[in-house]
Structures are given as structure tokens and as C-alpha cells.
Structure 1
Amino acid sequence: MVEHRFKFSKVYQAVFKTLARYIHIWGGRAAGRSYFVTSYFLFLITQPKYFRGAFLRHVFGDIRSSLWQDFKDRVEESDFDENDFEFNESQMTVRYKPTGNTIISKGFKKSAGNRSAKLKSLAGITHVACEEADENYEEDVNKLDDSIRTDKIDDIQIIFLYNPPSRNHWLIKRYYNLVDAEVFDRDGNPVPYYRAIPKENPNILCIHSTYRDNIKNLNRKSIEKYQAYGDPDSQFYNEEAWFVDINGLVSEGARGRIYRGFKHISLEFFRSLPYPSFYGLDFGYSEDPVALVEMKEHNGRLFWHQVIYETGLTNPALAKKMRALSVPKNALIFADNAEAKSIDELKDLGFYQIKPADKGPDSVLYGIKAIIACENYMTDTSTELWEENQEYKWQLDENGQPTNVPVDKNNHAKDAGRYGYTTYKKIRRRKKFTTASPSKEHNGSDDLLNAV
């Protein structure tokens, strides 16, 4: 009988001993996480003990060039007979003939653009490796968790692999407490990055790793490049890459975030501003929330207040909630023009000044640029608005640099504000209505703003 040898990094040894259901393996770049997990699955599939594994990613097809290829590489590198593995390339499944153990591949989505999370055939699964776990929605992961059950073993393992998300991500909020990392930029100024401390929970094992835990498997040039990101004198110096990508710290907001520099104001102060209110509305229902934002504008200053951010609201329920929150029936509301039927229904329900937003070609980029050009203030109570402010981001290119294409996510309230401001601005320019005359309080309000 051939004795097969496995060698695993010490940093991941706890995975073999833990009784925790949830295992988080995350941190900085080049830490060997995918290598470990695919080696671990190779070990498990070749053992006589019952094992049913699953490779999982947000989009099914993305598994092919990641965990699936990595696993095949592990088999090829090993001293196992490749003929003992029965691979199904189209479905990305494998069976180890001597034991009958198997690995399947699943995605929350079959392809990009399909948001459904219809995971089937997970009964009997004992181990899941969820790569790029930060790409997934919390509710989808909850469904996954509920779908995994077996009476074959006592200790199911769900392994999450991910790079550091920002502080508002559900993974961070759910599993970690944050402490200031006390790090500084090239000029010696403190910068907002955080160390994630796992919350006490015996059912969770968290392993944080960086390239330093895998340094013996890296070439010298790669190590020098990683270290150059943190060297202020290097042409490759990159603060965010050094703290997040290399050292695995948690950032204040998403990489490539679109909106920065918003200032806090109180709701009382917002209410006291003597400028006319207008509203932006982004419709939603089951998965996406309805977002209603009240706004005011004066002399290049834009003021935001989140009124509603909620899922499951029908249009009658939305109208009822708007009345309860004292949104005037004559409020000027600019709503997503893709929802003409909903706009008409809200008009019939009493909000007679609701209008479709003026969305033309390149309206998204136009609106983003218009908002960025303003001095922006937002009420402290606008919880989800602040979260979207930190998470709404540009798509990144292959080098991790922001493009000019926004990611259509974490943007419901921001879209509502964009509808409101850009349409209000265009209507004012066309002089189709006049705003209220400035009151005598304007100078005093400006003085207050200067003090914010």
C-alpha cells in the first residue's frame, strides 16, 4: 500500500483540530490560502472517511480558473495516480475512485447578472470552500448554511477564503471587533486602517495570514515588490496596497470608493437650513431596498438626509410610511424613470409632485461628477447612506486600479440622491420653477457651515 505524504503550513494546522463549523482564512496577498485549501481537500477526498466537498464562488464559472484549476494542480503535483480521479470538466466535479469521495462545484449565480441563489444538491456535503467570500451577500451565505446538512459526520466545516473587506462589510461586522492599527502615511499622518479581532465564538476559527507566513515559497523579487509598496522612497509606494493587500488590515472604505470627503451634520442642523427640500427615490422591493433621500442645495453645497431605506415595501406601504415620516404631499420627488408604473401609483396615492428622474446617456457618470463637484454634508442619522458612501466604488482593472465604471452595488441611496440632485439641477437651469427667496437666516447658516 502506497503511503502518501502531505505537508501543510503551520499557520493552517488548526483547521485539522478545530470543532468550529465556520473557518475564516483571510488576510494579505500571497499567503498560500488557496494552496492550503485545495491541498486539504485533496487530503480529505483520499481518506477512507466519508467526505463530500464543495467548491463555491459567487459566480459558478469563476471556479474554473481558481479552486478547480488549483485542485487539479495539487493532484498533478502529488504522488497519487491520476487515473484514480474521475474528473467531470463541464460540471467541475471529481470522484476519487478508491474511496468514492467526491467534490462538486457550485455558484450562487450561474453567470454574471443572475442574482438568484438557488443552491441545490448540498445535502450530504461535509466541507465547503467558499473562495472570495466577501463577494457574496449575507443572505445568500445564510441560505447556503441552512442548506448544508448530513448525518454522516458530526463536524461540518464551511471555510471562507477572502481578502480584507472594508469595515462596513457584513463579514467584518458579524465576526470581528476592530481596533485602530495605529499606522501612518508617508508624511507621518495617522491613517484609518484597523486590525480585526475575532469575536469570542467557539463555533468560529479565524486564521489571518500574510505573505510572511508563506515566505519560504515566494521568490525574492516578489517579496521585494510587496515590501516596496510600504517604502515611501520607492516608485511603487502605495499606501492602500501596503496596508490592505499586503498586511491584511481593514480599510475605512472600499478600494476605488467613489465618494469621499462628506461631512457630518446633525438632523437638527439639516432641518434648520432655510433652503427648499427636494427628494430622490430609488425603487426596490424584495432584495433591494426602497431608498428615499431628502436633499437641500445652496451655492455648491449639497445636504443629504436618509428618510427611508427598507426592503419589502409595496407602493401603498411606501406612501403610508412617507406620510408617517412627514414627507409633504407636495414634496418635489424625482424617482427612477424605469419605474413609470410605480411613479403613477405614488402620484395616485397623493404625492402629486413626484416626477421621473431626468436620465439621459451617461447619466450615471454625469451625476457622480456633479455630486463630487459639490461640498457634501450628510446627517449623522443616515446610517445606510454613510455605509454606501464608503462601499460604492469603481470597478478595478487587472492592476487593481479604479476605472470609470461604477460597480452596481451599495448604491441604492446614492442613486436616489443622484436622481434627485441632477434632475433638480437641470430643472433649475431650465427655470421651470423658482426656488424660495433666501431668508435673512442665510448668512447665519453659512457661518454655521463654515464652522462644521
Structure 2
Amino acid sequence: MAGIEFRSSPVFAAIWKALNKKSETNIASHYYKLIVEEGGSRSTKTWSNFQALFLYLFENPLSSVTVLRDTQKSCRDIVEKDWKQWLSDPMVRKKEYDDGKIAVDEFDKFLQTENLKQYLVENKTNHTWTFKHNGNVIWFTGLDDENLAMGMTQTICWINEPYSFQYDVYKQLAMRSKVIIFDWNPKQNHWVENEKAKETTFVHYSTFKDNPFIIPETKMQILSYQPIHRADAVESGIISKDKAFSYDFEANPAELTDKQIRELKRCIYNEKTGSASEYDWDVYGLGKKSEKPNKIYKGWKPISLEEYKSKDYQKFYGLDFGFANPSACVEVMYDGDVSIYVRQLLYKPMRLMGASTLGDNLLHAGVPSGNVTYLWADSSDKEAGSDISQINDLRKFYKINAVPVNKPTYKERFDFISKFNIFYTVESIDFAQEYENYEYEFINGYPTEKPIKKDDHLMNAFEYCMWGMKNYLNIRV
């Protein structure tokens, strides 16, 4: 690395150390299979990954990296674009120039001599970057080219902002990679929480405060989200939220420190200008999970599969058909009072079921045949351009007691279901993600009282089952 320099943050140091830790039993193997970087926005997670991956590929022959987002376009328009910017200015000379520390001629000279693109060959068609001295490659792509992406074998796979990645996709990638890097702002429940508990997972937390290169405008934008009740003087109980608005800063009766006063003044300003947002402060400022304010359902609780199986209540089923989107099936139990227990059984598009059918998949997942219970299904059960009724097929060929649900309005289903205590199994990963992201639609700032129609397949299956149970059991709550 003689002659190659870049400025880094503490985040890089932590990731680089974890990436290079070796197995105690095999020094050729990595100790950590998964590196999880989480925290707030602008904490240098992305740039630290560029630095770690560049350095790793530079020093380790016969290595490769695949960088993935949900789509090729977003990976290349966002991540690869940032990669190019980092290569062009690894010493952050632009900030020095903006701060008036160097003149324009010095700035241009630094960019010419320090530019790391000189060590790489870019293939603009394939979006690959090859190191000249050893042939190692970094490739930017997305899961919309799933067959290609899933068929690749690489030393390191970096999954950037993986909110839409299914757990099955991760498992396939993990089998084809020595190390997975996973970076995100943890704003929702996600299957990665289970992976974080493993001994072979390294978790690193960071916020914008760890970024010595953050521009003032970005820092102020993030700080503008902080609400007054999250100011240290209020959170610590020195003063109440109500008194904070009228606090006498001149007299300073609570003897607040200068730092506490500056923070409190800023938070008061945030509240007055309407920029304060607890959700935005938690997610983008502190990098913590927070419940979205526009969520349709709230307060649902995860339980273990063992606890779920210990409940001896009658089982019912809900089904939402999906041909290109996932076909979603849930199993639901009702305790006769106000508690509902739900478990995800199926989440797979019919077009990806291969030689097996939807009926085969439902039976394999645990839906019983015969007139032993009900499976309430979406009444829209025909694929575009087809006259085949999926409900009729399930009844005729698989003896599944599938019946079309008389779909209620959104308001009716939301009002009814919100009256229950809902418990879902922790291994129902797709269900948990849909629950977290099931939000009301807003147009020009006004609610439509409808959900955003995106990844709501298990939510719909659950709603169909709940409405079927309501009518069948004559539930009144």
C-alpha cells in the first residue's frame, strides 16, 4: 500500500478489524461470517466499507466482492456513484477546500495524485472494477438480476440497505460468500435480528457523531429532528418538558451546562418550526428502531414457536394469491377473548413453485385437507388471462376447505383487528417485515385511509382469515 492513503473514521477501524479476524481453528478462514453495521445516517458506514473492501482486495490475491441492493439501478446510481466519488477524493480534500484550508490549485493537484482510480480498470458495461496488479474484482449489481446475482461466488458480499431482502435470499448468498457485510439504519423489525445473536456475527453501531467529515448542513439537518423531550436536560429529569419551553436561560435556575443549554435551545427551535420528529431522530439521528407514525397496526408482539405451539386452540387459515408476487398463507388461532396468535406458513410466488403446485405447497406447509377447518382466501383467485379458479382447484384436487372471503372495506378490517392483542411467531420473518411496513397511504399530505399497496400479502391473508373468523365464530369485541 506504499503511496496509497485515505482518511478514515473509527467505523473503518472496527470493520477492518472484524473483517480480518481469523478462525481460531483455521487461520485461512474468517472468524465472522456476518458483519452487521447499523446506526444513523451519515455515520461513514458506506465510505468505511469502500475503504475496507479496497484495502482487502488490494492485499489479498484471488479475492472478489459483490455489492448488492434490491435493484441494479439503485446499486449503481447510489452505491457505485459514491464509490467513484470516494476513489476520486480518498483524503477528503473537498472538505478542506470548502473550509478554506487549501487553495484551488492545491485541491486540483491533490485530486490528481491521490485518485485511487489509477489502480483499477472500470468496465462501464458490466459495472465491474478490476485491480490492475492482481485481477481482483468488485461488482455492483442488484437482485432484479436474481439468477445472475445468486449464482455468483465471491469472497465478500456487501448487502447495502437490505430492507427488501428475503431471508432465503440471504441464506443462498451466505453459502456462496466467505463473509457477508450488512449495513442499514434499523428502522424496522428484520430477520437479521436473529442472525445478530450468533457468535459468528459482528455488530457495530455508529451515528453521525462518529463522522469527522460530515458537512455542517447535513449535521444540522439531522439535529433538526431532535424533539424537546429527547434533550438531555429533559430526558435526565432536570426539568420537565412543559417547563423547558419557558425556561429562563439567563437565570439558569437548574444550573444547566452550556452544552445542555445549546441543545435545549435547538430543540425548542425544532418544535416551533415543525421539524422535530421522534421517529426521524431515532432512525436517522440515533440509528434505533422506532415505530412508524403512519403504521396501520401497532403493538403486536413476537413470541417463540414453542409458546405458539403450546396454545391448544382451533386453527384457521388465510390465503392471498400471488402469481408474480408471493402467495401468502397464515395459520391463526383465537383464544375466545381478545388474543390472536398467528404464524406464517407460505410466502412464495406461484411462478417460482416449479413442478409443484400451490396446493402441494399448502399441504406441505401444514394446511390440513378435508372439512376440518376453514381456509379463507382472496376472492380474486384467477391469474390475468386465465379462467382457472384457484379456490376450485384447491377444493377439487387437494380437498382443502378453501372458501372466498367476503372482503370488508379497509376501515372495517382495520377497526376490527385493532381491537385484539396480536402475537406472531419470531420465525415468521416475512410477516414481521410486512407488519412493520404496512402503512397508510398519504397523497399530498392527506390520508386516503387505504394502505400503501406494497408487500402486503401476508397482511391481506391475515385480514381475510380474521374477517372469516369474525363471521364464522360471531366474534364481538
- Tell me if TM exceeds 0.5: yes
Q: CA deviation at 1:50?
A: 4.3
Change (3 A) 1:83 1:224: closer
CA contact (8 A) 2:318 2:465 kept: yes
Residue 202 of structure 2: which of 181, 205, 226 is its match?
A: 205
What amino acid is the match of 2:320? D
* Aligned residue identity for 1:309: L
Tell me, in whole angstroms, the C-alpha distance in 1 between the residues paired with 2:73 and 2:300: 38
Asked whether the 8 Å contact 2:87–2:115 carries over to 1, the reply is yes
RMSD, aligned α-carbons: 4.7
- Displacement of 1:294: 7.1
Corresponding residue number in structure 2 for 1:122:
152
| Rounded Cα–Cα distance in structure 2 between residues aligned with 1:101 and 1:389 | 38
Q: CA deviation at 1:73?
A: 1.0
Q: TM-score, normalised by structure 2?
A: 0.63
Give the match for residue 16 of structure 1: 16
User: What do the CA deviations read for 1:295-333 (whole angstroms, capped 9, x no partner)?
Assistant: 899xxx9985648734688526747955579744xx584
In 2, the alpha carbon distance for the partners of 1:162 and 1:45 equals 23
Aligned pairs, number? 375
Q: Which residue of 2 aligns with 1:240?
A: 279
Q: Does the 8 A contact of 2:295 with 2:440 survive in 1?
A: no
Q: Which residue of 2 aligns with 1:335?
A: 378
CA distance in 2, matches of 1:21, 1:37: 16
Partners in 1 of 2:158 and 2:167 — Cα distance? 16
Residues 419 and 237 (structure 1 numbering): CA distance in 2 closer, same or farther, change over 3 Å? same
Measured after TM superposition, the shift of residue 142 of structure 1 is 0.9
- Name 1:315's counterpart in structure 2: 359
- Offset at 1:245? 2.0
Report whether the alignment pairs 1:348 with 2:396.
Answer: yes
Give deviations 1:321-346, integer Å, cap 9, x for gaps: 55579744xx5844342245331133
Task: Single out whichever of 7-16 and 307-316 deviates more from structure 2.
Answer: 307-316
Q: Distance in 2 between matches of 1:109 and 1:401?
A: 32
2:168 is the counterpart of 1:172 = no
What is the percent sequence identity of the aligned residues?
A: 19
Question: Contact 1:128/1:157 (CA < 8 Å) preserved in 2?
Answer: yes
* Contact 1:28 1:247 survives alignment (8 Å): yes
Q: Distance in 2 between matches of 1:26 and 1:170?
A: 14
Give unpaired runs (5+ residues) of structure 2: 22-31, 91-113, 229-267, 348-355, 383-387
CA contact (8 A) 2:376 2:465 kept: yes
- Distance 1:43-1:343 versus aligned 2 partners, 3 A rule: same
Q: What is the rounded CA distance, in whole Å, between the counterparts of 1:107 and 1:237 in structure 2?
A: 35
Give the deviation of 1:63 after TM superposition. Answer: 1.0
What is the alpha-carbon distance in structure 1 between the residues aligned to residue 465 and residue 121 of structure 2? Answer: 57
- For the structure 1 residues 421 and 24, does the alpha-carbon distance in structure 2 shift closer, same or farther, using more than 3 Å as the test? closer
SS in structure 1 of the partner of residue 394 of structure 2: helix
Q: CA deviation at 1:132?
A: 0.8
Question: How far apart, CA to CA, are the structure 2 residues paired with 1:81 and 1:263?
Answer: 49
**1:402 to 1:174, Cα distance in 2 relative to 1, 3 A:** farther
Larger deviation: 368-377 or 318-327? 318-327
Say if 1:309 and 1:2 are closer, same or farther in 2 by CA, change over 3 A.
Answer: closer
Secondary structure of the structure 1 residue equivalent to 2:381? coil
Q: What is the deviation of 1:226?
A: 2.0
In terms of fraction of residues, the more helix-rich structure is 2
Q: 1:220 aligns with which of 197, 206, 216?
A: 216
User: 2:2 & 2:444 partners in 1: Cα distance?
Assistant: 44
Distance 1:270 1:304, change over 3 A: farther
Q: State the TM-score, normalized to the length of structure 1.
A: 0.66
Query: Which residue of the partner structure matches residue 460 of structure 2?
Result: 415
Q: Give 2:66's match in structure 1, choosing from 54, 62, 76.
A: 54
Among 358, 361, 373, the residue aligned to 2:415: 373
Would the alpha carbon gap of residues 164 and 106 (structure 1) be closer, same or farther in structure 2, given more than 3 Å must change? same
8 Å Cα contact 2:158-2:182 kept in structure 1: yes
Cα displacement (A) at 1:89: 1.7
**What SS class does the counterpart of residue 134 from structure 1 fall into?**
coil
Unaligned segments of structure 1, at least 5 residues: 111-115, 149-155, 177-198, 360-365, 429-434, 439-444
Residue of structure 2 equivalent to 1:257: 295
